[in-house]
Structure 1
């Protein structure tokens, strides 16, 4: 294993950057799409059931099949991989945004309205800050999923750490498979750690957990 890291150091850096780039762009697009939709769905019971059902169905499509479906429309490379990974990132973020917004106490929302806030101000200044911990949990979960699934992007020429794993399978070289898997795991853990720090930073101070207590 040491030989793998020393002999392929430059390629490891390149593939790790490709993997990170693909994953984070897909995750960012997922956040931009899912959070606003989740906020809107929290205000409409009927529509929320339909949309969440559709995203749940998309989540059941095998990731490799979804990547293959992208090829006729977007060809091969990073673009179809990012689109497919973005689709997979939607459900946890959308679901957690919906749950977080719906879990805000009605009396708290009512107090904001009573103070003269508009519905939009109530969402921005009251509901969204209180829902942030739940929303960030969905984003962290999606980040881990996306980084893991991005290994399959190698099949459609998107690069990333999946190249090591699938080359190892084709050449019967265990060190390539294990080395690639280790880096993917470390990358997922690192992303989760950094997002946990971001979660703490964006969470209102009164909602942060200190020493096991609020």
Structure 2
């Protein structure tokens, strides 16, 4: 597969120099199949996958958290989805009625996004102070009203944290979409491998760098959003809770 037409890169330069030359060639950005096109595809695939993951994971996590049951089920679902390699799904799903292209990529990445979305939705509801629940029930709120008016607003910081984790993971993994002709920045890397390694190493490195920078950019953006939706009194509590969870994990 050929990459977007640009100026030829000298095969005698090292890969870093080739990558710099490749990234500084405007044609590699603006031509059809160039960086801007692939970036748009990458963001579209990632957004669709995270949205699908939210539609599946959040209702289940919120409902189980509200009921106060199903913690084991949440762990089971998270472990099962994490145990399924995304590359394996990308290999299997195109052989079904979905065919090659974006649909199997979106579904495979959505499965990858489910664990953090589900776990944080469940945890966010369960972290609501029981006294707050009792007070809300004492005011005559029904179960649905309690979830919508009390538990869900207090769980928003946890939902944001799960969304942030899922989005960064999906953006970083979406480069695998090129294996099934799904588009995205991975196509640039794949095109580089299609060239002679001496000539394509710079393009491979440039594509990998673009994916990494995009993932870092999404992480920083969503970290700001998460902080903005977390009330100030809860930030210190969240940091202490995160440290306790990290210590418990290290000691396990």
With the length of structure 2 as denominator, give the TM-score of the two structures.
0.77
Of the candidates 114, 133, 139, which is equivalent to residue 109 of structure 1? 133
1:91 corresponds, among 107, 112, 115, to 115
- Is the partner of 1:42 in helix, strand or coil? helix
Q: Secondary structure at the match of 2:194?
A: helix
Count of residues in correspondence between the two structures: 211
Larger radius of gyration: 2
Deviates more, 1:141-150 or 1:120-129: 120-129
Q: What CA distance in whole angstroms lies between the structure 1 residues aligned with 2:70 and 2:92?
A: 27
1:191 counterpart (199, 218, 226): 218
Encode CA deviations 1:110-136: one digit per residue, 9 max, x unaligned.
111112222212111211121111221
Question: How far 1:176 sits from its partner (Å)?
Answer: 1.4
What stretches of structure 1 move > 6 A for 4+ residues in a row?
Answer: none
The residue that corresponds to 2:204 in the other structure is: 177
1:112–1:97: structure 2 CA closer, same or farther, 3 Å change rule? same
Aligned to 2:15: none
Secondary structure, counterpart of 1:116 in structure 2:
coil
Q: CA RMSD in A?
A: 2.1
Residue in structure 2 matching 1:2, options 5, 15, 20 = 20
| Equivalent in the alignment of 2:250 | none
Match of 1:163 in 2: 187
Contiguous gaps of at least 5 residues in structure 1: none
Structure 2: tracts of 5 or more residues without a match: 1-18, 240-252
User: Is residue 44 of structure 2 the alignment partner of residue 21 of structure 1?
Assistant: yes
Deviations 1:125-159 (A, max 9, x none): 21112111122111111111101110111000101
Distance apart, 1:206 and its partner CA:
5.3
Moved more, 198-207 or 166-175: 198-207
1:30 aligns with 2:50: no
- In terms of fraction of residues, the more helix-rich structure is 1
Q: Who is 2:9 aligned against?
A: none
Query: Structure 1 157/188 Cα, relative in aligned 2: closer, same or farther at 3 Å?
Result: same
Aligned CA distance change for structure 1 residues 150 and 46 (closer, same or farther; 3 Å): same
